[in-house]
Structure 1
Amino acid sequence: MRATIIHAPRDIRIEERPDPVLRRPDDAVVRVVAACVCGSDLWPYRGVRPVEKPHPIGHEFVGVVEAVGDEVSTLAVGDFVVAPWAVSCGECPQCLNGVHVACDHRASWGGTDEYGFPVDAGQGERVRVPMADGTLVPVPGVTDPEEGLLKSLLTLSDVMGTGHHAALAARVGPARTVVVVGDGAVGLCGVLAARRLGAKRIIAMSRHEDRAAIARRFGATEVVAERGKAAAEKVRELLGGVLDDSV
C-alpha cells in the first residue's frame, strides 16, 4: 500500500509500505476513505518538533473496517468508522473518566503499540488499529457517505472533539455566556460546540474577517477583533464589566 512518511522537516514522501495485518485479537484493519492534515502535523514538518526517524504520519481519518480480530465485539467488516486522535483501550480508569488521551495502554498513530508492533498512520491507504473496540467509533447507517457528510465526519476525528472538550471543560451550558479565544480550527469548533451546548451569548475573539464570518455562521453572537489589553477591555465593555460564565 501507499502511505505518507515524514523523513525530516519539509521532507515528506509517498512510499510503498506492507499492507497491515491483524497482529493481536483486539486489532482491526481499516481502509482509509478520507484523511486530513492536522495543525500538529505541521510541527515536525516545519522543524518545531524533531523527527527522530522516518515514520508514517497522520492521525485524523475515517474509513471502512476490512478485518477484525477474534476479540473485537463492537465492530464488523463493512462498518464505517471514525478514528480519533488517541489509540485507547476504553476500559482503564483514564478512559472511563473520558480522558482517552491518557489511556494506560495508549499507542500513537505512526508509532508502536505496547507489544512493540508498528501502528500505521492515517495518511495511508490502510491502517492496523490496536484496541479497536476502544479506539474506533462506528457510524450507524453510514456505508458510503457523500462528500458533505464525509467532511463533517472527518472533523469528529480530532478538531471538533477538541473544541467540544474545551467547551465542556469551561462548563458551557444552557443560557451561559461564553468567550472563545482564538479563531483557528479548534476555536471555531469551540464556537460550534458552545452553540450545541445551549449557550445564549457567544463572543468570538477573531481578527481575521474570513474566520470571523465562519464564527458567526457557527453561532457567535458577537466578534471582538481587538488584541491584547484592548481585546480584554472590549469584552468587559460588552459584558458590562461582569465576568463571563465561560472562557
Structure 2
Amino acid sequence: MRATLMYGPGDVRVEGVPDSIIRHPTDALVRVTASCICGSDLHPYHSMSPEDGPARMGHEFIGVIEDIGSAVATLKKGDLVVSPFAISDNTCEYCREKMHTSCSHHEAAFWDTIPDEGGQAEAARVPLADGTLVKLPVAVDSSLIPSLLTLADVFGTGHHAAHAGGVNKRTNVTVIGDGAVGLMAVLAAKRLGAEQIILMGRHKARTDLGLEFGATDVVSARGDEGIAQVRDLTGGHGTHVVLEAVGHMPAYDQAVGVVRPGGIISRVGVPQYEEGPIGFGSLFRHNIKLTGGPAPVRAYIDELLPEILNGSIEPGKVFDVTTNMDGIPQGYKDMDERSSLKVLIKP
C-alpha cells in the first residue's frame, strides 16, 4: 500500500509501505477514503531532524472498515467511520470525564506517535476501534464528507477552544489566527452564541470565509497596533474570551494584550514555545484565566455531528483544495506557502 512519509524539513514523499494488518483483538483495519493535511503537520515540515525520519504522517481520516479484531463489538466490516486524532477506549475514568486525550488505556496515543501507521495513506490499523471510531450514517461519496472529516480534528479543535473558553451569548470573542483552526474557532464561537467575534488575520480569502462563518470584525494588524484596534472595537476593554489558534509566542502576546480583566485565554494552537508570561504583570494582576490544550474531539462528535448532517453548519468549506495521494507533497508546500488553506486528500 502507499503512505505519506516525512524524511526531514520540506521532504515529504508518498511511497510503498507494508500493508496495515490487524495486530490486536481490539483493532480495526480501515481503508482510507478521505484524509487531509493539518496545520500542525507543518511544524515537523519546518523542523524535523532527518535522524528522526522517515515518519508516517496524517491524523485525520474517514474510511471504510475492511476487517476487525475478534474483540471489536460495536463496528462491522463495511461501516464508514471517522477517526479522531487521539486513540482512546472511551470507557476509562478520563474518557468518561470527556478527556479522551488523556485516556489511561495502555494503547491510548496520538496518531503521530503510533509506529508505521498514519491517516495520509491507503489504509490504517486503528487501535481501540470501539472507543476511537465513530460510525457515520452517510455513503462514502456523500457531499458531506469534507464537513464530516473536520470532526477528526479541526472543527473539534475549534469547538474545544470556544468550549474551554466558556463562550456564550454574553461573551465577546477575539480569535487569533486565520488558519483552518482559527476559522473553525470562529464558527464554533458563533454556534455557541457570541454576538461579537473579532478575527485577527491578514489573508483576505481566509478572513472573508471567517466573516461567512460568523466573524463580525476583522483586524489585520499585528502587535501593538492590532491590540489597539481590538480594544477600540470593544470600548477599550478587550474581549471576554480570546481563542489563540496559532501556537507561536507573538500570538500568545497578542492574546494577553486583547483579553479584558477577568477574561479567559483559550489556546489550541500547538505551542512552539516553552513558556509565556503568566506572572503579576500579565495574567495574575487582572485575574485572567489560561486554558486550552489538545482537543478531546471524540467527546464532541455526538454533539456536532447532527448539525453537519442537517446542513445547519458547513465546516467543510475550510478545504480549498482537493488532491489525490500523488499531490500530497505539493499540498504540504502549498499550505506552507499559504497558497492553500487546508488540503483534502482522496486516495
TM-score (norm 2): 0.65
SS of the residue corresponding to residue 13 of structure 1 reads strand
Deviation at 1:162, TM superposition (A): 0.9
SS of the residue corresponding to residue 31 of structure 1 reads strand
- Against the structure 1 CA distance between its residues 236 and 155, is the aligned structure 2 distance closer, same or farther, given a 3 Å change threshold? same
Partner Cα separation in structure 1 for residue 234 and residue 20 of structure 2:
55
Q: Deviations over 1:207-238 (max 9, x none)?
A: 22211111100001111222212222222221
Deviation at 1:33, TM superposition (A): 0.2
Matched with 1:107 is 109
Q: Deviations over 1:49-99 (max 9, x none)?
A: 335132321111111111122222222222111111111222223322222
Matched with 1:27 is 27
1:20 touches 1:128 (CA, 8 Å); kept in 2?
A: yes
Within the candidate set 143, 156, 180, 2:139 is matched to 143
Matched with 1:217 is 212
Following superposition of structure 1 onto structure 2, how do residues 72-221 of structure 1 map, counting pairs within 5 Å?
Answer: 72-104=72-104, 105=106, 106-109=108-111, 111-112=113-114, 118-139=115-136, 141-146=137-142, 148-221=143-216
2:230 touches 2:238 (CA, 8 Å); kept in 1?
A: no
Name structure 2 gaps, 5 residues minimum: 243-347
SS of the residue corresponding to residue 26 of structure 1 reads coil
Matched with 1:59 is 59
Q: Which moved more, 1:36-45 or 1:207-216?
A: 36-45
Deviation at 1:120, TM superposition (A): 1.5
Q: Which moved more, 1:14-23 or 1:213-222?
A: 14-23
Q: Deviations over 1:94-114 (max 9, x none)?
A: 3222222222232243544xx
Q: Deviations over 1:118-142 (max 9, x none)?
A: 4511111111100011111211x21
SS of the residue corresponding to residue 245 of structure 1 reads strand
- Against the structure 1 CA distance between its residues 237 and 9, is the aligned structure 2 distance closer, same or farther, given a 3 Å change threshold? closer
Deviation at 1:203, TM superposition (A): 1.3
Letter in 1 for 2:178: D
* Percentage identity across paired residues of the two chains: 50
Matched with 2:252 is none
Letter in 2 for 1:144: V
Determine whether 1:69 maps to 2:69. yes
Name the one with the larger helix percent: 2
Partner Cα separation in structure 2 for residue 50 and residue 108 of structure 1:
20
TM-align CA RMSD: 1.8
2:8 touches 2:48 (CA, 8 Å); kept in 1?
A: no
Partner Cα separation in structure 2 for residue 209 and residue 15 of structure 1:
36
Partner Cα separation in structure 2 for residue 235 and residue 7 of structure 1:
41
- Against the structure 1 CA distance between its residues 220 and 110, is the aligned structure 2 distance closer, same or farther, given a 3 Å change threshold? closer
Partner Cα separation in structure 1 for residue 53 and residue 239 of structure 2:
46
Q: Which moved more, 1:125-134 or 1:99-108?
A: 99-108
Q: Which runs of 4+ in 1 moved over 6 A?
A: none
2:26 touches 2:70 (CA, 8 Å); kept in 1?
A: yes
Name structure 1 gaps, 5 residues minimum: 113-117
1:79 touches 1:143 (CA, 8 Å); kept in 2?
A: no
Matched with 1:115 is none
- Against the structure 1 CA distance between its residues 204 and 89, is the aligned structure 2 distance closer, same or farther, given a 3 Å change threshold? same
Letter in 2 for 1:142: V
TM-score (norm 1): 0.89
Partner Cα separation in structure 1 for residue 120 and residue 128 of structure 2:
19
